[in-house]
Amino acid sequence: MPDIAFVKPTLPRAGALVLPLAEEAPLAGLAAQADEATGGAIARGLEAAKFKGRKGQSVTLWAPGAGLSKVVAIGLGKSSDLLAIGAEAAGGSIAGAVAQEREAVVAADALTPSLAAAMAMGVALKSYRFDRYRTKEKEEDKPKVERVAIAVADAAKTKAAFAPMQAVTDGVFLTRDLVSEPPNVLTPAECADRCRALTKLGVEVEILGPKEMKKLCFGALLGVAQGSVQEPRMVVMKWMGAPKGKKAAKPLAFIGKGVTFDTGGISIKPAGGMEDMKWDMAGAGTVIGLMAALAGRKAKADVIGLVGLVENMPSGNAQRPGDVVTSASGQTIEVINTDAEGRLVLADVIHYCIEKFDPRFMVDLATLTGAIIIALGHEHAGLFSNDDTLASRIEAAGRTTGEAAWRMPLGDAYDKQIRSDIADMKNVGGRPGGSITAAQFIQRFVQGRPWAHLDIAGTAWSGKDLPTAPKGATAYGVRLLDRLVAEHYEG
């Protein structure tokens, strides 16, 4: 990660200069100065390359003079259409363009402080790397960039606008680290331990183990955990940031599925691609990163984060297809398929959340079903909700942050699919509408409270680079939910 600084617009004498340019806009400010210093080489080069400033367009001019190693022009599209999300994407391109330079200056002096800050956030987000376990990477393959200076008209204002974005970026990085960790390292106990780091941000962290969960009658979660030698954990994180004095409102609650590895259990998954199931804890990872983001920027809201952490393994002590377990709510579940384990974990954590915190709403995140990838691909998370206001707020926050969510239906006809002949419900509803019946299952534990469920199986991990994320763990949901809180539940 390069250092990101906000500086006055002065021409660098070396290194890279990046020019984010709007469509058809003449070179101005620092860009015009650079053009003059290079004897017009920049304007000539851009003209020859037919650079028009279109969104996503990028042109590199090598050694244009004035000591610069290169000038990179990045198109922003029409300046009247430029939103934070576009500035961030441009920042992501900038991160790629300057990775091999030691220092780079970005001429953002024509942008407002908030757009320049968003661009800086894009640079930061795209610069993420998970390289803990690489011991033999060649020097020339490593990014060299140490410092990216964003040259802006008002450095103090831009810096202030960036401060909360830095906190959110830190949250995103925490999530990406957790989700990227291999499953032999990130066991439920290890993941819980890492939550403790949030105490230094002012988050209260409480960790419950199997003993406590037995007392709480977490039969559904413990049924999943029983096949593994790794003990389960539940972590409760509290950020009480609402201004004191006012009548305390109910807290917001975010709940994450944290299956640190999902073999499927006795209903074991095929070998091909099973390694992907290390990121079956992405819901939990997202909630943890979200709590870090909210606390890091001192969000003015009371927020509870809960994660259920288990490993789903086959063994002589594993849960069987056909087992009936009793959830903390008292409802019984016939376990038809031990690979439909996430909903079992969520059932108990959600019940606990309601009983203990009486939340204003609950949003759960889970890499819950392969079926959501069939329905929506990797472009949208599946959004399920019993509350239209909450749902439309999440959809809107998804649009502004670029973490899109698409609302899916719920209904009695789907709920019928999970009726059991011998228990209150079964844990699978057959192939048709697999993501919906999974959501129906969860809904049976929310007691009619305002609730939304995000199935992030298709969005938590990306097989290709994205505008503001390298391929790998995306931390989908951290920014979306941070925005949801900021927009509607603070102050």
Which residues contribute to the site for ligand BES (CB under 6 A)? 262, 280, 337, 339-342, 367-371, 428, 434, 457
Residue 435 tokens read as 């993501």
Binding mask 321-350 for Mn ion (x = CB under 5 A): ------------------x-x---------
Contact assessment for residue 385 and residue 391, using Cβ atoms and an 8 Å cutoff: yes
Active site residue 343: yes
Work out how close the CB of 261 gets to Mn ion at its nearest, in angstroms, rounded to a whole number: 10
262 binds Mn ion (CB under 5 A): yes
Residue 56 tokens read as 């996503």
Work out how close the CB of 416 gets to Mn ion at its nearest, in angstroms, rounded to a whole number: 23
Work out how close the CB of 78 gets to ligand BES at its nearest, in angstroms, rounded to a whole number: 38
Residues forming contacts to Zn ion in the complex (CB under 5 A) are 259, 262, 280, 342
2 binds, options ligand BES, Mn ion, Zn ion, none, Cβ within 5 to 8 A by partner type: none
369 binds, options Mn ion, ligand BES, Zn ion, none, Cβ within 5 to 8 A by partner type: ligand BES
Give the binding-site size for Mn ion (rule: CB under 5 A).
Answer: 3
Work out how close the CB of 457 gets to Zn ion at its nearest, in angstroms, rounded to a whole number: 8
CA gap 309, 291 in Å, rounded: 16
CA gap 375, 381 in Å, rounded: 10
The DSSP annotation for 329-361 comes to: TS-EEE-S-TT--HHHHHHHHHHHHHHHH--SE
The residue range among 180-188, 230-238, 262-270, 425-433 that interacts with Mn ion, by the rule CB under 5 A, is 262-270
CA gap 411, 415 in Å, rounded: 6
Active site residue 269: yes
By three-state DSSP, how is residue 135 classified? coil
Query: Which one from 159, 343, 479, 483 is the annotated catalytic residue?
Result: 343
Work out how close the CB of 471 gets to Mn ion at its nearest, in angstroms, rounded to a whole number: 23
158 binds, options ligand BES, Mn ion, Zn ion, none, Cβ within 5 to 8 A by partner type: none
Query: Which one from 78, 147, 269, 360 is the annotated catalytic residue?
Result: 269
Contact assessment for residue 191 and residue 233, using Cβ atoms and an 8 Å cutoff: yes
109 binds Mn ion (CB under 5 A): no
Alpha-helical (H) ranges within 38-112 are: 41-48, 84-98
CB-based closest residue to Mn ion: 339
CB-based closest residue to ligand BES: 370
Work out how close the CB of 366 gets to Zn ion at its nearest, in angstroms, rounded to a whole number: 8
CA gap 343, 334 in Å, rounded: 12
CA gap 271, 122 in Å, rounded: 37
Q: Which is nearer to ligand BES, 97 or 340 (CB)?
A: 340
Work out how close the CB of 192 gets to ligand BES at its nearest, in angstroms, rounded to a whole number: 20
Q: Which residues make Cβ contacts (< 8 Å) with residue 429, sequence separation at least 6?
A: 414, 417, 418, 437, 438, 440, 441
Q: Which is nearer to ligand BES, 16 or 428 (CB)?
A: 428
177 binds Mn ion (CB under 5 A): no
CA gap 153, 164 in Å, rounded: 20
Contact assessment for residue 16 and residue 71, using Cβ atoms and an 8 Å cutoff: yes
Interstrand relation of 16-21 and 68-75 (parallel, antiparallel or unpaired): parallel
226 binds, options Zn ion, ligand BES, Mn ion, none, Cβ within 5 to 8 A by partner type: none
337 binds, options Mn ion, Zn ion, ligand BES, none, Cβ within 5 to 8 A by partner type: ligand BES
Q: Which is nearer to ligand BES, 35 or 341 (CB)?
A: 341
Q: CA torsion sign, 51 to 122 to 4 to 136?
A: negative
Residues annotated as catalytic (active site), given as ranges: 269, 343
